[in-house]
Structure 1
Amino acid sequence: MTPTGTHMDRFEASMPRLKAIAYRLLGSASDAEDAVQDTFLRWQAADIDRIEVPEAWLTKVLTNLCLNQLTSARARRESYVGQWLPEPLLAGDPMLGPAETAEQRESVSYAVLTLMERLSPDERVVYVLREAFDYPHRRIAEILDITEASCQQLYHRAKKHVAEGKARKEIDEVAARRIVEEFLAAATSGRTEPLVRLLAADAITIGDGGGKVPARAEAFEGSLAVAKFMRGLFKPSKAKRDLIGGTAEIHATTANGAPAIVVVVGGRVAGVMCLEVTDDGIAAFRNQVNPDKLERATRQWGATGHGEPLFRL
């Protein structure tokens, strides 16, 4: 049936939540948009007047679509060139969703999205709906067509896997900028020692170029190795400018709620480096340079105000 204005209003009211759920489940803003669009098509085709709880119906349809995508994504990522990392979302992006609680902020952090790649599709659904959206186990079990006890087991397994990562620090925007500025000052000092002091002893750095842009797929591990790599990465050179097609402007911001460095070339976001910060120092750098995963970041960057770059490369 054709949805009425009221039916359209109901769907549009649910869209921010649906997009936030889909992004957390899929780690891709573009895939999340597709999943929400497919949910709308099913909403259009449904006998809407017979749906008692639209929110529950929409969530179940969206979740099942995401489960199908997660299953096929595993096969696609086996043939992915290099390391696969999630698509970063810059500060202010509405797809980041709710951020009132520590659990909600943690569930969309770049570190946790990366860790969630270890989870089974069902574990990921349970973790996201429970942690970020406070769904009761009974409702999640109905969405997945499993028992409530099975749902609780999936949740505990998912929590355990995610907790295996380092304990991350909650950081506000002011602190995030200060961390990025301190790191960049050390990285451009020409010396390794200042960088090592900022890093956790077992720090790592890894990148996702998708086979389209050169990126370090095998992680550098250990503070000294990471420091040497970063010192070279932020050293200006003509070869770098030729490779990226111009002068790179380096900005401090947040992505997925954590400190991040945005590299802008000619108004286009050419890279987002997400920093994972723990009590021991910066524990990880995850660098997204695959242009397919930076289109939304470029639009977001162009639509928001930002100051002068910290420096140019």
Structure 2
Amino acid sequence: MSADADAQELLAVRFEEHRSHLRAVGYRMLGSVAEAEDAVQETWIRLSRSDVSGVENLGGWLTTVAGRVCLDMLRSRSSRREDAMETYVPDPLVSVDDAAHPEYEAELADSVGLALLVVLETLPPAERLAFVLHDMFAVPFEDIAPIVDRSPATARQLASRGRRKVQGRTLEHETDRSRQREVVGAFLAAARGGDFEALLTVLDPDVVMRADTGGVGGASRLVLGARAVAQQAEAFRSMAPFARMALVNGMPGVVTAPDGKAFSVMAFTVVDGLIVEINLLADPARLGALDIPVVSD
């Protein structure tokens, strides 16, 4: 094997050490599992074509390159219609809701709530990049600045604007997973039983439900208020027997799979024992492309 081939193989090994981190950066930046993988692959291509012999912190170098790739991808996305943005739900990360599962702790450690990703989708690309890289991955503003072609002071302002928007639209959700599991379980039991009053007891009066069907039949919708959401849950009764608890982005959620394939994934935000937000993805094309485990009793 030639010296160049040896060097390339060593570089590939070093890159693999950072792959999971880069995938996490891509997912938070893009809210898409497939696009995050594309960003990681593009980062590898740029690394393989670069001379990094003088780079002391390869992880930091790769993070900034991945950030630049993601920024380009965000800027090149086709602009979604305003009404579509109201119901858009990013790709969920689903795993088995079982504390004994080997990947359980790692899944929780690397999770980011779907509700937060929904808010990140509303940020302009540069704000999203500055906020994600700095607040989630501790990248210095001096390293973020050249990615957005701004000064470090301006990069700080971008992150600050993004942070204010995120804080203004997200709530301090329940951190006790056993408590959240109890609330989601009560919601699921009430939906299975068609118990309208029981549904109202677990829903915040101002609950928001975002249902993204990918435009199938024009059914994507934003449902506001406990009574309206409870009525939607009652309509779900025929599918409820096929619904099972799972971890959705590290928190208790629900996967419905009537034919052994995911039909929908629901993520819940719980505050003070009440469900304040439900994000539901039922886009067949997107669900079919995700690795969603189907849990049986």
Q: Does 1:301 align with 2:288?
A: no
> Within 5 A, what are the aligned runs for 1:137-156?
137-156=141-160
The match for 2:222 is: 219
* Aligned residue-pair number: 286
- Of residues 106, 115, 120 in structure 2, which corresponds to 1:116? 120
Cα displacement string for residues 181-214 of structure 1 (whole angstroms, at most 9, x for unaligned residues): 10012223333221112111111212111134x5
Aligned to 2:213: 209
Return the alpha-carbon distance in structure 2 between the equivalents of residues 97 and 215 of structure 1. Answer: 37
| Mapping of residues 161-176 of structure 1, within 5 Å | 161-176=165-180
Match of 2:268?
275
Q: 2:72 aligns with which of 31, 44, 68?
A: 68
Q: Secondary structure at the match of 1:200?
A: strand
User: Does the 8 A contact of 1:206 with 1:219 survive in 2?
Assistant: yes
Q: What secondary structure does 2:189 align onto?
A: helix
Of 23, 27, 31 in structure 1, the residue corresponding to residue 31 of structure 2 is 27
Which stretches in structure 2 are left out of the alignment for 5+ residues?
A: 97-101
Name which of 30, 41, 47 aligns with 2:45. 41
AA aligned to 2:228 is A
- Runs of at least 4 residues off by over 6 Å: 79-82
Amino acid paired to 1:59: T
- Taking the aligned partners of 1:168 and 1:295, their CA distance within structure 2 comes to 32
Q: Which amino acid aligns with 1:135?
A: V
Other-structure match for 1:199? 203
**What are the Cα deviations for residues 233-263 of structure 1, in whole angstroms up to 9, with x where unaligned?**
12x2xxx7xxxxxx96210112112331101
Mapped partners of 1:81, 1:110: distance in 2: 17
- Contact 1:192–1:228 at 8 Å: present in 2 too? yes
Percent identity, please.
30
8 Å contact kept, 1:16–1:97:
no
Q: Secondary structure at the match of 1:47?
A: coil
Deviates more, 1:117-126 or 1:84-93: 84-93
- Distance in 1 (CA, whole Å) between partners of 2:125 and 2:212 is 22
Q: Secondary structure at the match of 1:140?
A: helix
Which of 237, 242, 246 matches 1:249? Answer: 242
1:286 aligned to 2:279?
yes
TM superposition shift of 1:217:
2.3
The residue matched to 1:219 in structure 2 has which SS? Answer: strand
TM-score, normalization: structure 2?
Answer: 0.85
Residue 262 of structure 1 contacts residue 271 of structure 1 at CA under 8 Å; is this kept in 2? yes
